[in-house]
Amino acid sequence: MNIYVGNLSYRLRESDLREVFEEYGQVDACRIVTDRETRRSKGFAFLEMPDDREASRAIAELNEVELEGRKLIVKESQPREQYAPRKY
């Protein structure tokens, strides 16, 4: 299952986030999204957990938990196609 994690502290490292989620099961991938030019965190990440039960438990138990002074937003990631196109 792909998981979205938002409202991250800008100081948080991928290894720290992975460690938190590994308490619930195997994590295949963890990527904090960064700005291309500055390389600074944008404050959100995506994780992949192969076991859906473990991933669902992690989502349920970590959503709105405080990590480094910020309340996490944790939910199942949705494909981009499901979002309405932006109007400019």
Q: What is the pLDDT of residues 22-39, one digit of tens each?
A: 999 999 999 999 999 999
In a domain, 84, yes or no: no
88 inside domain: no
47-74 residues labelled b (16+ CB within 10 A) or e (exposed): bbbeeeebbeebbeebeeeebeebebeb
Tell me, what CATH number does 11's domain have?
Answer: 3.30.70.330
Domain assignment of residue 42, yes or no:
yes
**pTM listed for this prediction:** 0.87
Look at residues 80, 62, 87 and name the one whose alpha carbon lies nearest to residue 7.
62
Q: Domain for residue 39, yes or no?
A: yes
| Residue 23 domain-assigned (yes or no) | yes
User: How many structural domains are present in the chain?
Assistant: 1
Report pLDDT for 79. Answer: 80
pLDDT of the chain along its 88 residues, tens only?
999 999 999 999 999 999 999 999 999 999 999 999 999 999 999 999 999 999 999 999 999 999 999 999 999 998 876 555 666 5
